[in-house]
Amino acid sequence: LKESHPHMSGDREFIRSRADEAADAYECSIRNGLSVTQALEQSDAVLYRNLRFSGFDTVFEVVSEWFPEVPPEKRADFCLKMLSPAEVVFNKYPIDDRFEDSPSYRTLTIELTGFIQYYIEQYGI
């Protein structure tokens, strides 16, 4: 969470809830006769559900590639600040754990690039 979803890393309730769900999935899998490896796969699926795609990582990738005016030492903070305004772009897409592999991902990054350019022109870094 700290690396790809820093805006969620302090959400103790979310972390506790997700950890409990993953533990329950593991326990249920073992009780149902699955192997330890299979039970771990089940619990990982629960633990990482809807976390494989990261809006922060996507913004960071776009800023790193297209906006050299954002200095490397300020990049993470700038990208974190951009997450909330960029929701208007992210909300247009059916984002799930497989989204990054979809054709729509490239379209999102193009639209996000324009959005960030406009944001910088209006508000600066």
CATH code at 55-123:
1.10.8.340
Percent of the chain with pLDDT over 90: 100
Q: pLDDT value at position 33?
A: 98
pLDDT digits (tens, 9 = 90+) for 8-25: 999 999 999 999 999 999
| Residues contacting residue 84 through CB under 8 Å, at least 6 positions apart | none
pLDDT digits (tens, 9 = 90+) for 67-107: 999 999 999 999 999 999 999 999 999 999 999 999 999 99
Write down the domain spans for the chain: 6-47, 55-123
Percent of the chain with pLDDT over 70: 100
Q: pLDDT value at position 116?
A: 99
Q: pLDDT value at position 115?
A: 99
Separation CA 107–CA 13 (nearest Å): 34
Separation CA 87–CA 30 (nearest Å): 39
